[in-house]
Amino acid sequence: GIYTKPKRPYSYQIITANKKAPKIRQIVLTEDVSKVGQKGELVAVKAGFYRNYLAPRGQAQLATPKYLKELRLEQERKEAEKRRVREEYELLASTLESAGVLKVKRKTVGKGKQIFGRVTEQDLSDIIKAQIQRDIDKRIITIPEIREVGQYVAEIKLHSEVTARVRIN
């Protein structure tokens, strides 16, 4: 055979990657992950841990500007809801405290000072319902031990930050 030269000589292109993938990724956790963080937290983890463990399980999301904006809006909405609920309970607490002295009727024994029976949280809950038409769960009411006729103060824990003090007679 006759040897002919190819029209274009063979050439090998050398492809180099100048940019490497980042080794650390900023992510937002979508679930609580032990030893990493809580739900909604922004954390930095290695790219392989995110790619091979967190992402397939749906436990994390890449922290893109769009996702961070959505997350911030969601947190603001939750904060506004918490403030609204707290203000509602503060209003209820002021209503309870301004209701005056709540009268508990019990039979007296002896000279008229000691009372027969015990004043329970359920009694106070019923009195509040009759006076201000609001249901109060008996489990959030704390009453001191009442053995004699007199004035006492009961505490009603309406919210983790709001407690109402009610006078009992």
* Tens-digit pLDDT string for the chain (169 aa): 566 666 666 666 666 666 777 789 999 999 999 999 999 899 999 999 999 999 999 999 999 999 999 989 999 999 999 999 999 999 999 998 888 888 888 777 777 788 888 888 999 999 999 988 889 999 999 999 888 888 999 999 999 999 999 998 8
Question: What is the reported pLDDT for 3?
Answer: 63
Q: Which residues does 125 contact at the CB level (< 8 Å), separation at least 6?
A: 135, 136, 137, 138, 141
Question: What is the reported pLDDT for 58?
Answer: 94
Question: What is the reported pLDDT for 102?
Answer: 84
pTM of the predicted protein model: 0.63
Question: What is the reported pLDDT for 15?
Answer: 64
Please give the CATH superfamily to which domain 86-168 belongs: Ribosomal protein L9, C-terminal domain (3.10.430.100)
Q: How far apart are CA 146 and CA 97, in angstroms?
A: 20
Q: How far apart are CA 96 and CA 156, in angstroms?
A: 9
Question: What is the reported pLDDT for 1?
Answer: 55
Give the CATH fold of the 24-83 domain: Ribosomal Protein L9; domain 1 (3.40.5)
- Whether the CB-CB separation of 63 and 42 falls below 8 Å is answered with yes
Beta strands in 33-74 (DSSP E): 42-46, 60-62
Domain boundaries defined on the chain: 24-83, 86-168
From residue 136, give the alpha-carbon distance in Å to each of 126, 152, 161.
8, 19, 17
- Whether the CB-CB separation of 168 and 124 falls below 8 Å is answered with yes
Question: What is the reported pLDDT for 116?
Answer: 81
